[in-house]
Chain A
Amino acid sequence: MTEAEGRVRTSAGIGLRSPHVAEVMATRPAVAFLEVHAENYMGGGPALAALDRLRHDYPLSLHGVGLSLGGADALDARHLARFKRLVDRVEPELVSEHLAWSVAEGAYFNHLLPLPYDEASLDVVCGRVARVQEALGRAILLENPSRYLRFAHSPIPEPEFLAELAHRTGCGLLLDVNNVYVTCRNFDEDPEAYLDALEVAGIGEIHLAGHAENEADGRRILIDDHGSAVADPVWRLYTRALERFGPVPTLVEWDTRLPALAVLLDEAAKARRLLEAAGRRERDAVAA
């Protein structure tokens, strides 16, 4: 294990967004790793140049949002080739994508759209994950999406679908604790039961972010907008996840209404303290 991997494994990072790049370059804050959206770095110019420099000082996590792994249309070979070129260039410690689709009939929706969970979908996603992993020459992590609708025909529970996907393809999981909370609350399900239903092995990264609470037709609906601090119930669920899965590299994301970098760093520091506590518990358990 390299030093960089070790740092990713045990601590907390931040999602790096373009308004923060100059400050991160100038001040080099002490975070364990940086995660960027792959699709923002597929051109050239100052964005890519900054990433080239930052990757020497920080382990990188490359987070794809556009491979549409749940899409039934043909995989975008040009996009996969660009993805691979970026992975080869910046050599990230972690590479991840989503259990979702985003393109149909050639139109990209810039959104992580929901899948029905059945055998047919499982075949589609497994085939695509396998093809991406083969192209990249490495395993990727798949993230559970936040969802606002359920399909009438969707017989496999999401944790089971993810476990089967990992089993068949060898991919790992990116457990987004906020997404678990948002999805479960939107369908009156128990988020702790969701965690209990996930297999312990194979969680390669955790995401944390804020969500918003909207009202539609008098019914409360949680929206995963990454526009605020991590909510208290999500921190509690995160603590529960660390008890179940042990310390896992954790990323704090913030995308809309982006705050000062210091605010985001404080959130990452909070995650780091919880991770360190989980690490101590794990060592104590081993020693006992």
Chain B
Amino acid sequence: MPSLRDLERDVARALLGEADGAVLASILGDGLSPAARLGVYRNHVFSTLTDALEATYPVVCRLVDPRFFAYAVDRYIRACPPAGPCLFEYGESLPEFLAAFPPCRHLQYLPDVARLEWAINRALHAEDAEPLDPTRLRGLSPDGAARLALRLHPSASFLESRWPVDRVWRANQPGADPDGIVDLDAGGVRLEVRRLGDDVVFRSLAAATYAFRSALAAGGDLERAVEAAQAAGPEFDLTQTLRELLDDGLVVGSSAPRSSMGA
């Protein structure tokens, strides 16, 4: 008789794998095969996780056809089952999985469309946070300002693609023109995705602004963000860029040596 831990491990492996193995000996048939009884549980696991991924990735599902989507995510669920119990957090690695999945490798824009859908999902469910009062940044010394790390709103993320994934996304929304055509060679985008009120919004940013904000989002201090912005666009204006960032309500916290902070 296996221990509870071993039994649960064997059931778990049987649910995710093809072979039911040793666990079948622990299950009564009760008029069916033990494998068929395990199959009832497996069906539920896969159908609910497939539904959850379809809810998070509706455009990807539409682009590849729901039947192919179900086939692809069946493989994905086996390879990357949820790591936590909140379904809105499941599926972050699907874009990378699709990029490496041979049957859709020819759809080169697909992983970036998936990244945009993940950013939208993340923005919708991110923790709430109040914008920082800009007056708290007054009176910083130049040295203190350089080492200032600004914490951006948890819903914000930044996505760069060589494909016009924003247009692909819009063309695949309910109510979009069914005859609309997206020119995949129209050029890439640099997108900022965030929650605004109860809605998720995204927009494309100029190169320097994108470099500045995404460097801050990655945890860089102000000096590093300025360097990234100057490398991306020579006419970068720090005062203006910083004011826009604060006006957008995207800064929710700052960390700097306490002595260099204004009151």
Contacts from A to B (Cβ < 8 Å): 39-40, 42-49, 65-68, 71-73, 76, 78-79, 101-111, 113-116, 120-121, 124, 148-153, 186-187, 216-217, 219, 221, 223
Sample of 14 more A-B contacts, CB < 8 Å, known A49-B128, A72-B5: A46-B198, A73-B5, A78-B84, A79-B85, A110-B85, A113-B8, A116-B7, A152-B26, A152-B27, A187-B30, A217-B33, A219-B31, A219-B32, A221-B40
CA distance A90 to B165 in the complex (A): 39
Which B residues lie within 8 Å of A103 (CB)?
A: 85
Which B residues lie within 8 Å of A44 (CB)?
A: 125-129, 154-155
Chain B's nearest CB lies how many Å from the CB of A218? 9
Chain B's nearest CB lies how many Å from the CB of A236? 24
B1-45 CB mask vs A (1 if < 8 Å, else 0) is 101110111011101100000000111101111101111110011
B74-90 CB mask vs A (1 if < 8 Å, else 0) is 00000001111111110
CB distance A148 to B4 under 8 Å? no
Which A residues lie within 8 Å of B25 (CB)?
A: 152
CA distance A131 to B3 in the complex (A): 22
Contacts from B to A (Cβ < 8 Å): 1, 3-5, 7-9, 11-13, 15-16, 25-28, 30-34, 36-41, 44-45, 48-49, 52, 81-89, 124-129, 154-155, 195, 198
CB distance B28 to A152 under 8 Å? yes
CB distance B198 to A66 under 8 Å? no
A-B residue pairs, 10 tightest by C-beta? A66-B85, A43-B125, A44-B128, A104-B12, A72-B5, A149-B37, A107-B81, A46-B198, A108-B82, A148-B40
CA distance A174 to B15 in the complex (A): 27
CB distance A110 to B124 under 8 Å? no
Which B residues lie within 8 Å of A104 (CB)?
A: 8-9, 11-12
Which of A45, A67, A71, A120 lies in contact with B128, CB distance below 8 A?
Answer: A45
Which B residues lie within 8 Å of A42 (CB)?
A: 86
CB distance B125 to A111 under 8 Å? no
CA distance A123 to B198 in the complex (A): 45
If the complex has contacts A148-B37, A217-B33, are A107 and B83 also in contact, measured as CB distance less than 8 A?
A: yes
Chain B's nearest CB lies how many Å from the CB of A46? 4
Show 22 residue pairs from A and B whose CB-CB distance is below 8 angstroms, ordered by the A residue. Answer: A39-B85, A39-B86, A42-B86, A44-B154, A45-B126, A49-B198, A66-B86, A68-B85, A71-B8, A72-B3, A104-B11, A107-B12, A110-B45, A114-B41, A116-B26, A120-B3, A124-B4, A148-B37, A149-B28, A149-B41, A150-B28, A217-B33
Give how many A-B residue pairs fall within 8 Å (CB-CB).
Answer: 139
CA distance A121 to B27 in the complex (A): 16
CA distance A150 to B31 in the complex (A): 12
CA distance A40 to B84 in the complex (A): 12
CB distance B41 to A148 under 8 Å? yes
CA distance A114 to B198 in the complex (A): 39
Which A residues lie within 8 Å of B52 (CB)?
A: 110
CB distance B8 to A76 under 8 Å? no
CA distance A66 to B41 in the complex (A): 16
Which A residues lie within 8 Å of B124 (CB)?
A: 45-46
Which B residues lie within 8 Å of A108 (CB)?
A: 81-85
Which B residues lie within 8 Å of A219 (CB)?
A: 31-32
CB distance B41 to A110 under 8 Å? no
Which A residues lie within 8 Å of B44 (CB)?
A: 111, 223
Which of B28, B31, B198 lies in contact with A151, CB distance below 8 A?
Answer: B28
Residue ID in chain B nearest A123 by CB atoms: B4
Chain A's nearest CB lies how many Å from the CB of B174? 15
Chain B's nearest CB lies how many Å from the CB of A153? 5
Chain B's nearest CB lies how many Å from the CB of A186? 8
Which A residues lie within 8 Å of B128 (CB)?
A: 44-45, 48-49
If the complex has contacts A219-B32, A221-B40, are A116 and B4 also in contact, measured as CB distance less than 8 A?
A: yes
Chain B's nearest CB lies how many Å from the CB of A133? 19
CA distance A120 to B34 in the complex (A): 23
Which A residues lie within 8 Å of B28 (CB)?
A: 149-152
CA distance A193 to B118 in the complex (A): 49
CB distance A109 to B84 under 8 Å? no
CB distance B125 to A45 under 8 Å? yes
If the complex has contacts A49-B198, A72-B4, are A151 and B27 also in contact, measured as CB distance less than 8 A?
A: yes
Which B residues lie within 8 Å of A153 (CB)?
A: 1, 26
CA distance A43 to B85 in the complex (A): 12
Chain B's nearest CB lies how many Å from the CB of A211? 13
CA distance A67 to B8 in the complex (A): 15
CB distance A149 to B38 under 8 Å? yes
If the complex has contacts A44-B126, A44-B128, A48-B128, are A111 and B45 also in contact, measured as CB distance less than 8 A?
A: yes
